[in-house]
Structure 1
Amino acid sequence: MDIEGETFDDLLRKSLQLLLERGHPIEPTKKKAIELIGVCLRLENPRARFSRTENRGVLYSALGETLWYLSGSDEFDPIEYYIQGYRKHCGSPPADVKSSEAAYGPRLASQMEFIKEQIRKRDTRKAVISIYRQADQQNQYDVPCTCILQFFPRSGALHAMAQMRSNDVYMGMAHDIFAFTMLQELLARSASLEVGTYIHQVGSFHLYDKDRTKAEKYLKRGVPDTVPMDAMPEGDPEGGLSWLLGMERALRVGKAMPDASDIDPYWQDLARLLQVRQLRKAKDRVGLRAIREGMHTKVYHTFIQDEISKA
């Protein structure tokens, strides 16, 4: 079963419509849902990786989770800063359990150098990151939803594919596609390749009953404008990413921020998005306006304006 779209919102609308029309009822451990088995989504423009709608525009938490992956961390505190209740989603481990047994970060970090080497080889079929492991069958609290990520350098572009054992279409898919296409673009830039197509294959493609009304409201809002993220700067992104990870940690724990004088505006804008969360919590409308005016791109203006209105 194939679903194609230019933007994430295209995929989400088609996915929800298909599930509501043809989904079969199931009762897994995480409450009742409707499901389709064996779905393949194709995102033609991976930079159009986030929803432009108010109720599914999870830009800040998706960016926070992506940086958690890329930092290599498995600790709960950094991700719960962006997604409250993350531990509960993982099966509510006791308070003395400080790290997630299913975290992607350490698994990605241990394989990144191999992947970077592989995608420099023409037409390789070995650029595979394994997320799900046999040992996960014994996990006490959580199991990764992602099985593998595969990358295909072909004719000057890097295509990517995720294979998921399970995907919550309304809540989880927005974060997954954002994170995996960001990784795709980071790897493409590291090998001087363009960004190709992103493919998202799912075993259990489902919508929980508790989210059905929200999904119907999303579909009634109409089709949003197509405004993708700006292209990542050409050249090796390692310096910019390292600076952004340092900035994220500084903002989260209240440390001195790293110097930004030699950092490309692309990375500075992402750091400003991270600041929005703090300013929103403090109801600092002046600070939020300053963030909006300091942006080098207008891609995120609508989201920041929404936060100003809420503040």
Structure 2
Amino acid sequence: MKQYLDLCSHILENGTVKEDRTGTGTISVFGYQMRYDLQKGFPLMTTKKTALRLIASELVWFLKGDTSLRTLINDRNPIWDEWGFERWVNSDEYNGPDMTDFGRRSLRDEEFERTYKEEMANYKKRIVEDDEFAAKYGDLGPIYGKQWRSWSSGEGVVDQIKQLIDGIKRNPDSRRHIVTAWNPSEVNDMALPPCHALFQFYVADGKLSCQLYQRSADVFLGVPFNIASYALLVHLIAHECNLEVGDFIHTLGDAHIYLNHMEQVKEQLSRTPKKLPTLKLNTEGKSIFDLTYEDISVEGYDPYPKIKAPIAV
């Protein structure tokens, strides 16, 4: 994962300090590209432990067209909890303790952190147990899964993933193997507008490659997940199309390190990357649309310990 560490160093050496939507502040560069040869191993971060189970669970959720937080909660996947919770505590119906700026406040105030955890636990419990509440405050809006599997157009609904697979099979040399999650007409209804906004597939010599354009990249927390998620997507689409895997090319727009992640990034840069693991898929007799996260695993993964850092909401 030297490519990733080079990105971190590049931002620290060349980045500009900027304000951001969350109020945390970042150091940022604009325009950066990394390339991963998927024949050389699965690019799951080795300089800190990264949870493939969460990555796989989220990707399966996207591929099924799901936008309900209940599914992820039942899968013990907290990736999207804060964005659903934010919608709830900012609603007119919420009458509990003040949760303004809960992400940063919970880091510096132990009493508030306890209150926040209680409110979050109550919120997640209601999502699981109360259908009406889940429908109103547990759906994250028309985010990735909705756009990938049921993009709304004037002529009906478009299943971009099935269209992609059909296109690769029928005309592998096409330059139109594109899926977009950025739907301008619905972006304001999303809990979080898509960061990984558009991707394109390319077939050459029996291998399938993918380039992702990511408009906004949280380099310490988000990008390691994005790399592994799209590498996994390449493997899954390649399986569906009877192709080998090629490269994953990761193109970043605003690539930033949050100012409260600086020490964590420096700790990671002090570590030497280890050998990449091997991806294992239980796909026998299954379409990628039938997989669960339990069908996805890696062998030979020996990372350094995880490094904790706050998420900016």
Tell me, yes or no, whether TM beats 0.5.
Answer: yes
Identify which of structures 1 and 2 has the higher relative contact order when contacts are C-alpha pairs closer than 8 Å and 6+ apart: 2
Whole-Å separation in 2 of the counterparts to 1:51 and 1:119: 29
8 Å contact kept, 1:146–1:166: yes
Kept after mapping to 1: 8 A contact 2:44/2:276: no
Q: CA deviation at 1:122?
A: 3.3
Could you say what secondary structure the match of 2:17 adopts?
strand
Contact 2:143–2:194 (8 Å) recurs in 1: yes
After superposition, what is the alpha-carbon deviation per residue over 1:247-295, rounded to whole angstroms, capped at 9, x for unaligned?
76xxxxxxxxxxxxxxxxxx3xx3xx6xxxxxxxxxxxxxxxxxxxxxx
1:188-199 aligned at under 5 Å gives the runs 188-199=238-249
Spell out the pairing of 1:283-302 with structure 2 (5 A cutoff): 298-300=299-301, 302=302
1:135 aligns with 2:212: no
1:150 corresponds to which of 174, 197, 200: 200
Query: Could you tell me how far apart the structure 1 residues matched to 2:137 and 2:275 are?
Result: 43
Query: Which runs of structure 2 are paired with 1:155-174 in the superposition (5 Å)?
Result: 155-174=205-224
Deviations 1:158-211 (A, max 9, x none): 110111111111111122122212111111122221111111111101111111
Does the 8 A contact of 1:65 with 1:82 survive in 2? no
**Alignment partner of 2:232: what SS?**
helix
Residue 127 (structure 1) shift: 0.8
Aligned to 1:113: 162
1:97 and 2:91 matched = no
Does residue 74 of structure 1 match 2:67? yes
- Structure 1's consecutive aligned runs of 4 or more residues displaced over 3 angstroms after TM superposition are 80-83, 240-244
Q: Count residues with an aligned counterpart.
A: 247
Structure 1 residue 243, shift from structure 2 partner: 5.3
**What per-residue deviation string (whole Å, max 9, x for no partner) do you get for residues 76-116 of structure 1?**
12234444362324671116411112531222222121101
Equivalence for 1:239: 286
2:5 equivalent to 1:13: yes
Q: Is the 8 A contact 1:19 1:206 kept in 2?
A: yes
Which residue of 2 is the match for residue 122 of structure 1?
A: 172
User: Offset at 1:140?
Assistant: 6.2
Q: Secondary structure of the residue that 1:224 maps to in structure 2?
A: coil
Other structure's SS at 2:229 match: helix
Q: Which amino acid aligns with 1:26?
A: K
- Identity, % of aligned positions: 20
Unaligned runs of 5+ in 2: 89-122, 124-135, 150-158, 307-313
Given that 2:202 and 2:209 are in contact with CA atoms closer than 8 Å, whether structure 1 keeps it comes out as yes
Worse-superposed segment, 77-86 or 185-194? 77-86
Aligned-residue offset at 1:137: 4.1
Distance 1:113 1:243 in 2: 13
Q: Structure 2 length as normaliser, TM-score?
A: 0.70
Residue 221 of structure 1, aligned match among 248, 266, 271: 271
Distance 1:27 1:56 in 2: 29
Alignment CA distance shift 1:161-1:85 (3 Å): closer
Residue 60 of structure 2 corresponds to residue 49 of structure 1: no
Amino acid at match of 1:101: G
By how many angstroms is 1:59 displaced? 2.0
Deviation, 1:28, is 0.8
* Partner AA of 2:286 in structure 1: G
- Asked if the contact 1:65–1:175 (Cα under 8 Å) also holds between the matched residues in 2, the reply is no
